[in-house]
Amino acid sequence: MQYLAVFFLIILLCFTFLWPQIVITINSGEGGVLYRRFSGTDTERVYIEGIYAIFPWDTMYVYDTRIQTVLHDFDVLTNQGLPIHLSLAIRFRPEYDMLGLLHQQVGPDYIKTIITPEVESVLRKRLSPYNPEDIYTNKDKILTTVVIEAVEALAQKYITANDVIIREISLPPTIQKAIESKLTEQQRYQAYVFRLKQEEQEAKRKVIEAEGIKNYQDTVAKTLSDKLLTWQGIQATLELAKSQNSKVVVIGAGSNGMPLILGSDYSSNSSEVKTTPEVKTAPEVKPAPEVKPAPEQKATPPEVEKTPNATTIPAVAPLEIEKIPSTTVNPPVAPLGTEKPPAKTTDSKLIK
């Protein structure tokens, strides 16, 4: 019993140690290729998703069958010997049914063995006859044609290439500036050509418009009458009255009752606008006879001393003068900087 227990224990330990090599799990989006040590690669069968038990001396190779992307950069020499740096993004996936042949003929490292070298070879071969400007501007769809050829070349190697994307094309700085300057001038030239064509079409449009206006005026002139003009004026007045803007409409200014247009020197029915009648001036008034001045009165008001910068009061014709008792009159206040005259007691006269 002891030997039997030891035997089962050894078997259990070996099974535990060899578990990863015996039980194989193929996850979603993967495919398996079985290599048998005594018979070789099984190219007829591709193991789908699931769990498989194999002998420990066999090997299961698992491949990712989803769409993958690999980035690759390299330089290409043009026909002028100038290098062009290309940055690519290759989108691919291995053909599911051909995983056995891919594993047998290429191996798990097929990305570095087939994909990048094959694409680089096609691009070098196809782009070398062109000059840098043609490649930079994709003249005649050079890059498109090269990409299609690269995809077809990968299809012959058990690889399905979805697309080969050229992410960047880098030229030497001097060449790139020269090409960009040339392209700028070409676009400017095309812009001027477009403007000239636009102006030519605009000139034709104006000629056609002028001919239409002339024909319209000739047609209207044959049927134009005063009654039609009056009716048009009435319609214009109605439209003006409906407007919400502030306005002044003078009705009945002309001889036919048409509205008056302020600031206009022309009237549709009168050659000149009548001016307002002249206002007669009143007859001249004869001057009144001279009136002899009354005899001077003996009593005159006392003179008031003038102060500096004081305004004088115009003289008033003397009227009835009554003598009143003497009062003290305060003189006007002198401005600053002048001496005040002393107050005097005088007999003042009251002027009525």
Closest CA to 32 of 52, 16, 18, 12: 52
On average, the pLDDT of the chain sits at 74
Read off the pLDDT of residues 214-227 as tens digits, 9 standing for 90 and up.
988 888 787 777 77
| Predicted local distance difference test score (pLDDT) of residue 239 | 81
Is 39 in contact with 66 (CB distance < 8 Å)? no
Residue 93 binned pLDDT confidence (cut-offs 50, 70, 90):
very high
| Predicted local distance difference test score (pLDDT) of residue 66 | 92
Instruction: Flag whether pLDDT at 315 surpasses 70.
Output: no
Domain ranges in the chain?
A: 16-64, 68-171
CATH match of 68-171 with 3.30.479.30:
yes
Residue 331 binned pLDDT confidence (cut-offs 50, 70, 90):
very low
Strands 59-64 and 68-77: unpaired
Least confident of 14-18, 203-207, 248-252: 248-252
Instruction: Flag whether pLDDT at 207 surpasses 90.
Output: yes
State the pTM of this model: 0.48
Read off the pLDDT of residues 165-200 as tens digits, 9 standing for 90 and up.
888 888 888 777 887 888 888 889 999 999 999 999
Read off the pLDDT of residues 132-157 as tens digits, 9 standing for 90 and up.
878 877 887 888 888 888 888 888 88
What is the mean pLDDT of the segment spanning 251-271?
49
